[in-house]
Amino acid sequence: MAFSTEDPKFAEFRQLFAKARSVLVLTGAGVSAESGVPTFRGSGGFWRKYQAIDLATPESFAKSPSLVWEFYQYRRELMATKEPNKGHLALVEAEKRFEKEGRRFVILTQNIDGLHRRAGSSNLIEMHGMLILHLKILCTSSENIGNLFKTRCTSCGFVEENKNNPICEALRGRGLPDVETGSDIPVADLPLCRQCQSLVRPHVVWFGEALWPDVRERIDKEIAQCDLFLVVGTSSVVYPAAAYASIISRLGIPVAEINIESTPSTSDSTGPSGELLPILLAPSVDEAL
């Protein structure tokens, strides 16, 4: 189900949403794009000559940790200038209302920018940024989540939050998207572990890495109990998230999608999530307009 507010499917979704007891929302880069966060995909989605899939991999980090850290330094600096948008806030309001009504509203996000959490979402699964508890990774934060502002030691596994800008002196001014600076920073000058002085990496799940077991278990649990699935701002091409809509649909659970571009899950586009979510998720259409 893909729709606009003028489409008959809009009213159909509103009816389903009103009756739903457990809503699961999958969000992707398109949600944050409306806050000005680059997706690093498609035409124009480049940092220097690279897209995210070129750099956010363990192989790229092994080949050139300097280049990958320059990319992440840019992303860290960029996120300090961005704020949650109306789509993020509409999801927060829906979650609060569902909680008061004894219903369940969960966000499953592919994003690592932290905007959902900054907006106020608490019933949140960050697919690419949660801590693997059973691997006994040490964590200095009270929350078992990872994102752009956490690092993990490649040697001892120590995890900590780091919001320093730049994250290390050698990366000062080195993340500029339109400047090729050589990407030749020695490992000894890159971000290092406070525990063992080994190289650290961003504490996120990269392309080619499996989702962490505790994340998979919680996702499976939420899929099993949801009675409405909403897909927002995701290309539906990165697995395993790309498979969730078809899996849930085969279970007979309604699936709705909001995207500014057509995807493999739908033949047409709908519109910006920042415009549609406040209307779709409001207590009533009249209150939202």
CATH architecture of the domain formed by 8-281:
3-Layer(aba) Sandwich (3.40)
Q: What CA–CA distance (Å, rounded) separates 150 from 115? A: 15
The binding site for substrate comprises 72, 75
Give residue-wise pLDDT tens across range 141-179.
333 345 788 999 999 999 999 999 999 999 999 988 887
Supply the pLDDT for residue 116.
Answer: 95
Q: For the chain, what percent of residues have pLDDT higher than 70?
A: 81
Domain ranges of the chain: 8-281
Q: Considering the chain, what is the average pLDDT of its residues?
A: 84
| Strand ranges in 93-224 using DSSP code E only, listed in sequence order | 104-109, 124-126, 150-153, 159-161, 200-202
Closest of 3, 25, 8 to residue 259, by C-alpha: 3
Catalogue the active-site residues: 128
Q: Where is mean pLDDT largest: 29-33, 65-69, 136-140?
A: 65-69
Give the pTM.
0.81
Q: Check whether 279 has a pLDDT greater than 50.
A: yes
The binding site for NAD(+) comprises 28-47, 110-113, 233-235, 259-261, 273
The predicted model gives 114-139 an average pLDDT of 67
In sequence order, what are the beta bridge partners of 24?
106, 229
